[in-house]
C-alpha cells in the first residue's frame, strides 16, 4: 500500500480539496485494509476481494473510495444512508469484516495535539494525521452476509415492473398488491414529472 501522505494527496486531488474528512477517510481505509490483510486493494487480484459499506455521503467517503479502489458502479462500494461517519470493510474471500466508526471525541483531542494552530479546521486536519487509531476510531469485527443480488459481476437478476414495464435489476423489485413492481411505482419516487415536458410542446426533449 502507498504511504499515508501519497494516499492523502491522491484523495484530495480526486475529491477536489483537502479537509479533515479526507484525513479521516484515508486513515479509516488504511486501517480497514490492514485489518482485512489487503495491501493493494485497488489492484488485481485484491480488487475482487473487497467491498466497503459507507454510512455517509460526505468527504470521507471519497477518500475511502480512493484508497480502496471501491466504486459504486463496480458494486464494490455500498452506500447505506445512515448519516453516520462509519464504514464496514469486507473481505469477500475470507468473510472477515470490520466496522470502523469515527469518534466524535477526536474533535476534542485536536486542540491538545495541535495547540499552535488557531484555525479549528486546520487544527483538526493536522491533528487527525497524527492521532492514535484508538482515539480516532472504534472498531468492531462484524459479519456481513452480502446477498448474491448485491455482489459485483454481471447482472444476474432482472424483473419487469408489471405497471410501467421498466426492467428492474438486482432483485430491487417489490411485491405489492399481488403485482411485481419497481420501487417508484410501488412507493413513489424522489422526482415528480413536469407536465408537458416530453411531448410535442417541447420537441427539444423528444428522443
Partner 1 sequence: MRKTPSSPFKTVPVDQAVGMTLAHDMTEVIPGKSKGPAFKKGHKVTEGDLCRLMRMGKNNLYILDLDENQVHEDEAVFELASALAGPGVEFSAEPREGKLELRAAYPGLFKVDVDALVEFNMIQDVMCASIHTNTCVEKGQSLAATRAIPLVIDRHHLEHAVGLARAAYPILSVAVYNPLKIRLIIVGNEVYDGLIQDRFQEIVEQKTRALGAEVLETCILPDDRERISGKINEYLDKDTDLIITTGGMSVDPDDVTKEGIEGAGFEEVHYSSAVLPGAMFLLGYTRRTAIMGLPACGLYHKTTIFDLILPRLMAGERPGKRDLASLCHGGLCLNCTPCRFPDCPFGKSA
The four Cα atoms 165, 170, 171, 172 give a dihedral, to 10 degrees, of -70
Residue selected from 155, 156, 166, 197 as contacting partner 1 according to rule CB under 8 A: 156
- Spatial neighbors of 100 by CB under 8 A, at least 6 apart, are 28, 31, 32, 86, 87, 88, 89, 137, 138, 139
Per CB under 8 A, which region of 15-23, 67-75, 125-133, 174-182 contacts partner 1?
A: 174-182
176 near partner 1, rule: CB under 8 A = yes
- What is the maximal distance between C-alpha atoms in the chain? 66
Those residues with Cβ within 8 angstroms of residue 96's Cβ, 6 or more apart along the chain or in another chain = 35, 36, 37, 90, 141
Task: Say whether residue 205 binds partner 1 (CB under 8 A).
Answer: no
* 146 lies in the site for partner 1, by CB under 8 A: yes
Instruction: Map the footprint of partner 1 across residues 80-119, applying CB under 8 A.
Output: 95
Taking CB under 8 A as the binding criterion, the range among 18-26, 115-123, 130-138, 173-181 that sits at the site for partner 1 is 173-181
Distance, CA of 190 to CA of 41 (rounded, Å): 34
Residue 157 binding partner 1, by CB under 8 A: yes
For partner 1, give the closer residue by CB, 175 or 205: 175
User: Of 3, 145, 200, 201, which lies in the binding site for partner 1, with binding defined by CB under 8 A?
Assistant: 145
Q: In this chain, which of 64, 171, 190, 195 binds partner 1, going by CB under 8 A? A: 171
Its sign, for the CA torsion 79, 80, 83, 84, is negative
Query: Using CB under 8 A as the criterion, which residues of the chain lie in contact with partner 1 when the complex forms?
Result: 95, 145-151, 156-157, 159, 171, 173-178, 180, 186
Amino acid at each position: 500500500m502507498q504511504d499515508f501522505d501519497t494516499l492523502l494527496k491522491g484523495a484530495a486531488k480526486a475529491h477536489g480539496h483537502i479537509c479533515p474528512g479526507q484525513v479521516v477517510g484515508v486513515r479509516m481505509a488504511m486501517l480497514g485494509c490492514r485489518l482485512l490483510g489487503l495491501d493493494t486493494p485497488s489492484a488485481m487480484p485484491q480488487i475482487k476481494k473487497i467491498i466497503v459499506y459507507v454510512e455517509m455521503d460526505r468527504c470521507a467517503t471519497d477518500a475511502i473510495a480512493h484508497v480502496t479502489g471501491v466504486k459504486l458502479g463496480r458494486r464494490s462500494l455500498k452506500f447505506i444512508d445512515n448519516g453516520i461517519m462509519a464504514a464496514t470493510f469486507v473481505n469477500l474471500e475470507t468473510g472477515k469484516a470490520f466496522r470502523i466508526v469515527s469518534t466524535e471525541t477526536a474533535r476534542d483531542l485536536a486542540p491538545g495535539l495541535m495547540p499552535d494552530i488557531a484555525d479549528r479546521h486546520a487544527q483538526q486536519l493536522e491533528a487527525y494525521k497524527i492521532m492514535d487509531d484508538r482515539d480516532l476510531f472504534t472498531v468492531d469485527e462484524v459479519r456481513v452476509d452480502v446477498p448474491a443480488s448485491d455482489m459485483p459481476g454481471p447482472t444476474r437478476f432482472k424483473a419487469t415492473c408489471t405497471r410501467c414495464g421498466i426492467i428492474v435489476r438486482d432483485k430491487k423489485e417489490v411485491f405489492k398488491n399481488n403485482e411485481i413492481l419497481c420501487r417508484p411505482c410501488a412507493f413513489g419516487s424522489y422526482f415528480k414529472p413536469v407536465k408537458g415536458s416530453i411531448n410535442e410542446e417541447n420537441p427539444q426533449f423528444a428522443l
